[in-house]
Structure 1
Amino acid sequence: MTPKQIQRLEKKIADIKRALAAEKRKFGGYDDSRGLRYLPTRYYLQLGDYKGGVTYTRWFAKTFPDDIGFPDFLFEWTVLLFKAGKFDQARSKAWQTFCSNTYILDTFLGNPAQPIAKYEWSNLAQESFTDQFPYSQQQAELQDFSQWLVELLSTDLFKTRKDRYIAIQQRLATEDDQETRRYLLNEAHQLEEWF
């Protein structure tokens, strides 16, 4: 990356922070309907500024505690945590990323995503999502992360939880009984909070 490209990315981050600060001053809170708050993680990854990225995600979590984020944003957050040496937090964020879109980790690893009927908005967007996802295990700077992720996904605990989570989502796609649905949604929520 050239110094000019680095400067451009740093300017984008600064502009986003400035725009968000202006919203807070103007409205007394954040009205980020444009979704600017999700962009800096990508820029921090491109810069290789993992410490800065983790600092940003800490601010994000404090400022938007109820914001669940988008799958690619959560994925970037996972990579930033891993690259900063925060492996326990990265493991937790990888699980959260999986729960937000059950295809994303396989897409990154180059595994064929097999669509399954499930109760999840990403099921509809799976094909277009995988075509647009900008990360791949083939990227040199993500080789160490890729190896770590493969090891995480192959643990018995992750596989067991993953299978149960998908089974719940599949059952929710067809379950009509409200009490059963409530039970399944509660169990899914508990699994999402697993790590």
Structure 2
Amino acid sequence: MTLKQIERLRLKIENIKKTLASEKRKFGGYDDSRGLRYLPTTYYVQLADYAGGLKYTKWFSKSFPDDVGFPDFLFEWAILLYKAGQIKQAGQKAFQTFCSNMYVIDKFLERPIVPIDMWEGWNLENESFLEYFQYNHQQPELKDFAVWLQSFLLTDDFTRAASQFVELRKALDKEDNIEKRSGLVKQISRLEKGDIFLA
């Protein structure tokens, strides 16, 4: 990457931060319907500025505590954590990526995409999202992350949690009872936090 390209990416990050800060001053909160808040992680990964990226995600968590994020955003967050040596947190974020779109990790690792018949809450969770996903395990700067991710997917904690997640989603797809559906949604929400990987 040339100095000019680096400067351009840094400028993009700064402009996004300024726009979001301006919105907060103007409206007393964030009105980011364009989704600008999800873009900086892409630029931080491209810059290999993992410390800067984590500083941004810390701000994101504080500013948007209920925002689950998009699948690629969560994936980039996992990369930032892994590259910064925060392995447990990277595992948690990788699992959250899996929960947000079960096909993203397979796409990254170039594994066969096998659609699963289960409840999907929005279009970001289905296969069609993959056409926008830009990462691949063969990218030189992501090879170490890819090796770690492949081994992480084989851990007992991940296989157990992933299996439970799929089963809960399948049950939700077939359940009509409102109370039972509510119970399933609560179980899924608890599981999606991925706290098991921080233990």
Q: What range is the shorter-chain TM-score in? A: over 0.9
Alpha-carbon distance, 1:72 to partner: 0.6
Q: Paired residues, what number?
A: 195
Please tell me whether the aligned partners of residues 99 and 192 of structure 1 are also in contact (alpha carbons under 8 angstroms).
yes
TM-score by length of 1: 0.94
TM-score by length of 2: 0.93
Q: Which amino acid aligns with 1:40?
A: P
Partner of 1:16: 16
Do the aligned partners of residues 154 and 137 (structure 1) sit closer, same or farther apart at CA in structure 2, a change above 3 Å counting?
same
Where structure 2 has 5 or more consecutive residues not aligned to the other structure, the ranges are none
Distance 1:160 1:102 in 2: 15
Please tell me whether the aligned partners of residues 117 and 123 of structure 1 are also in contact (alpha carbons under 8 angstroms).
no
Do the aligned partners of residues 20 and 124 (structure 1) sit closer, same or farther apart at CA in structure 2, a change above 3 Å counting?
closer
- Tell me which moved more, 117-126 or 100-109: 117-126
Matched residues, percent identical?
55
Do the aligned partners of residues 5 and 124 (structure 1) sit closer, same or farther apart at CA in structure 2, a change above 3 Å counting?
closer
Q: How does 1:19-38 map to 2 (within 5 A)?
A: 19-38=19-38
Distance 1:85 1:182 in 2: 37
Q: Which amino acid aligns with 1:30?
A: Y
Q: Which amino acid aligns with 2:181?
A: R
Please give the per-residue CA displacement for 1:113-158, whole angstroms capped at 9, x wherever unaligned.
1111111145686333222210010111001110111111001121
Partner of 1:180: 180
Partner of 1:112: 112
- Tell me which moved more, 155-164 or 47-56: 155-164
- Tell me which moved more, 173-182 or 97-106: 173-182
Alpha-carbon distance, 1:164 to partner: 1.3
Per the alignment, in what secondary structure is the counterpart of residue 169 of structure 1? helix
Greater relative contact order structure (CA < 8 Å, 6+ sep): 2
Alpha-carbon distance, 1:26 to partner: 1.2
- Tell me which moved more, 77-86 or 115-124: 115-124
Please tell me whether the aligned partners of residues 50 and 83 of structure 2 are also in contact (alpha carbons under 8 angstroms).
yes
Q: How does 1:69-108 map to 2 (within 5 A)?
A: 69-108=69-108
Per the alignment, in what secondary structure is the counterpart of residue 82 of structure 1? helix
Where structure 1 has 5 or more consecutive residues not aligned to the other structure, the ranges are none
Per the alignment, in what secondary structure is the counterpart of residue 126 of structure 2? helix
Q: Which amino acid aligns with 2:167?
A: A
Report the RMSD for the aligned CA atoms in angstroms.
1.5
Partner of 2:4: 4
Distance 2:78 2:71 in 1: 10
Please tell me whether the aligned partners of residues 115 and 123 of structure 1 are also in contact (alpha carbons under 8 angstroms).
no
Distance 1:111 1:172 in 2: 27
Partner of 2:60: 60
Please give the per-residue CA displacement for 1:60-110, whole angstroms capped at 9, x wherever unaligned.
001111111111111111101111111111111111111111111111111
Please tell me whether the aligned partners of residues 81 and 89 of structure 1 are also in contact (alpha carbons under 8 angstroms).
yes
Alpha-carbon distance, 1:182 to partner: 2.4
